[in-house]
Amino acid sequence: MRSAPAKPDPLALLRWYDRRRRALPWRARAGETADPYAVWLSEIMLQQTTVEAVKPYFAAFLARWPDVAALAAAPQEEVMKAWAGLGYYARARNLHACARAIAARGAFPREQRELLALPGVGPYTAAAIAAIAYDAPVVAVDGNVERVVARLFAIERPAREAKAELREQAQSLFPGRRAGDFTQALMDLGATVCTPRGPRCGDCPFHGACAAERSGDAEAFPVKPPKTQKPERRGAAFVLLSDGAALIRTRPPRGLLGGMAEFPSTPFRADFDPRKARAHAPAAAPWRELPGMVEHVFTHFSLRLTIFRATLPPPRPGIENCRWTELGRLEAEGLPTLMRKVAAHAGLGLE
DNA sequence: TACCCGTGGCG
DNA sequence: TCGCCAAGGGT
């Protein structure tokens, strides 16, 4: 009779972490205490976002707003501009609201329940802050940890359906000390060894104690839900120029690209009718349809935009809900990537 | 509960 | 080239 498979040893993971932990700008060095502000800021930026994409934004935010009081005192518009290009703009809105809430109450809450009540802070982020900044005995479960745990225990259901089980199993691994290190160790393991594709099981501190590895196909976990096709939408954007300036406006505060600057545009729709595009133009002008389209892929649809361009002689007219921005200052407007593509397509630079 | 919400890099 | 996917949260 075969011996029972080894159980995962959490202390082996901590030993691995002590050797292989990543040095990250928001992470305290070994033995030092993390700054709650830096932990919170980084955790918000890292939501669904890669480490490399976050690094320059984190540095810029920390340099400009070195503590939560400074961020709370900033105009929301400035925060949105500084966030431009990072995506998921509701995060920036919530970040600012959260900074004001924290400044108003005087300090970061330490309790997970209070953290959870903050805007933009969900179950993962609350647990991460509690564990990393305050050493609370909780395991934060992000996509990395879900993957590690799904493999360790060969969980057959997709992560979406198995959230509760994944959290319970992750928490069951907690060794009872070094909570911040343990959570970050699981995440580092998922990011560098137990990767979505091509996991390096031979380098894993759980080698020999992982059910997915024993199955012979660790990569098959976590089980993926069936993929659905991404629909296509279309629309048009209008680039109006006059006397060295371009016409822009601010999008509504919620929804797609909420609160971000844009060139006046039609709604983006599956049933967009190009013949009616000109009816959405911000002003009467000698509009010319440019050849080609701007293509962009969002989370849940892909977009093809027709670009219209026109030039008006000075003086520049006032146009409702819009403003003129000098071409040299377009960069400082904090255009989201889609609108940077529009600018480039219209020959305004911003490649 | 499902759906909504960006972006850039990688195999 | 293109689908996949990364430290999720809000509604």
Q: What is the DSSP string of A61-123?
A: HHHH--SHHHHHHS-HHHHHHHHTTS--THHHHHHHHHHHHHHHHSS---SHHHHHTSTT--H
CATH number at residue A41: 1.10.340.30
A320 is catalytic: no
A90 touches strand B (CB under 7 A): yes
Q: The domain that contains A316 carries what CATH number? A: 3.90.79.10
- Residues forming a β-bridge with A296: A303
Task: Assess whether A205 and A238 both reside in one domain.
Answer: no
pLDDT of residue A229: 83
Q: Among the options A32, A43, A78, A262, which is catalytic? A: A43
Q: Which residues sit opposite A232 in a β-bridge?
A: A302
Here the tokens at position A294 are: 């701007």
Q: Which residue ranges in chain A fall short of pLDDT 50? A: none
Shared domain for A282 and A186, answered yes or no, is no
- Spatial separation of the C-alpha atoms in residues A140 and A123, rounded to whole Å: 8
Strand B contact at CB of residue A87, distance < 7 A:
yes
Shared domain check, A39 and A91 = yes
- Res A108: pLDDT: 93
Q: What is the pLDDT of residue A1?
A: 53
Question: Are A84 and A180 members of one domain?
Answer: yes
Domain of A212 in residue numbering reads as 10-220
CA of A143 to C1' of C6 (A): 8
Here the tokens at position A106 are 């005087």
Give, in Å, how far the C1' of B8 lies from the CA of A293. Answer: 20
Residues A135 and A264 in one domain: no
pLDDT of residue A228: 82
Residue A56 in domain = yes
Q: What are phi and psi of A4, to 5 degrees?
A: -65, 145
* Nearest alpha-carbon partner for A265 in A296, A234, A286: A234
How many domains is chain A partitioned into structurally? 2
Tell me: do A248 and A178 sit in the same domain.
Answer: no
Specify whether A68 is located in the same domain as A177: yes
Confirm whether A164 is domain-assigned: yes
pLDDT tens, position by position, A134-189: 999 999 999 999 999 999 999 999 888 899 999 999 999 999 999 999 999 999 99
Asked whether residue A172's C-beta has any atom of DNA/RNA strand B within 7 A, the reply is no
- A166 and A208 part of one domain: yes
**Strand C surroundings (CB within 7 A):** A 22, 24, 26-27, 42-43, 46-51, 88, 90, 94, 119-126, 128, 142-144, 147, 184, 187-188, 190-191, 196-197, 224, 227, 297, 299
User: Considering just the CA atoms, what is the radius of gyration of chain A in Å?
Assistant: 24
Supply the pLDDT for residue A5.
Answer: 75
- Considering all nucleic acid strands, name the nucleotide whose C1' atom is nearest to the C-alpha of residue A258: B5
Final residue belonging to a domain, choices A192, A220, A248: A220
Helix/strand/coil for A127: helix
* Secondary structure letter of residue A328 according to DSSP: G
Instruction: Kindly state the tokens that stand for A19.
Output: 């050797």
**pLDDT (0 to 100) of residue A311:** 98
Q: How far is CA A140 from CA A7, A73, A129, in A?
A: 21, 30, 9
Q: For residues A210 and A263, state if they share a domain.
A: no
Strands A232-242 and A245-250: antiparallel
Residues facing A307 on adjacent strands: A237
Distance A46 CA to C2 C1' (A): 24
